[in-house]
Structure 1
């Protein structure tokens, strides 16, 4: 059993801790696994390694940590691209991509044959052309919808104008009708007053002797 050291950390211990932890970060492993590995190498507990990393060593390697994370992200992207390539190239080509070349344990494809690449590119070209046709069809439908929308807007403007004209005509006719009613009402009143005036006038007639007498 390895003895657990209680002495102070040396520069070499810190360097081992940094190198192993950064490697685990690049490979997508956990820091706990890194601390356990370092503890086995230098005879310390994983907890002690973790405390040393977080309290002292990490601050000296902030830039290296960011680089390691970027390398891990790039590595994961390569794995996804390799997996997608294998899936696309293998579908519809008589079998998986593994039959055309070797696939490493980290997901990177090696030793692809020229025939597999050509078939993949031909299939990709066909997919691209189909996508282009679909995009053109969507553009045509969009243009048709825009033309229809413009036609409906013009029709709406024309109907709005007609409604406005009808409203104006209605107001004019309504005003003329009111004026006519008022004229007719005044004419009736004038006729009624004329009749009353005519009836109120004194009438005379001539008798047999040639004298005028009032008619009641």
Structure 2
């Protein structure tokens, strides 16, 4: 199993990264929380990974921290939660936020995630309450929000001529309805914001930190 990759970041976009390591380019699916932590292209990056093999596909998932990766592995063991939904969950909440949500039994925060209905949210709270103990030693209580590199680096990360359109498309790809995405982006948008910042703030506005 491929558990970690360190190499040069060749390409990045919301949900995906291409990392060159040992002459090979690895296409990696990432949650948005990992995308926010990526350096500029051409720089070295380290991602904690999970390699999934199915009959019809082989996929590599990457995460900014080992805690996020280990939580992903626990999430996909929950009945009805596959890799795609697990990535969606970790796109809206990082591992520490999700764990605090489980500890507080906050169903409302979970149902705001795309693809998570009330029954799935309740199942997550029940099953994950018994499993997060496996992450002991990795989780440290924190109220810190997801951080983004400095303004100059963030500005360079923007892709496309219109940051608002880019942010809306990213939220729609995550599973939100077009009207929800447009409303969320419009709510947080300010002059000069790049798409990466818009995505982060829009997600936070729709899914308050538990």
Question: Per the shorter chain, which TM-score range?
Answer: under 0.3
Higher fraction of strand: 2
User: What is the TM-score of this pair, normalised by structure 2?
Assistant: 0.21
User: What is the TM-score of this pair, normalised by structure 1?
Assistant: 0.20
Structure whose alpha-carbon radius of gyration is higher: 1
Higher fraction of helix: 1
Higher RCO by CA contacts (8 Å cutoff, separation 6 or greater): 2
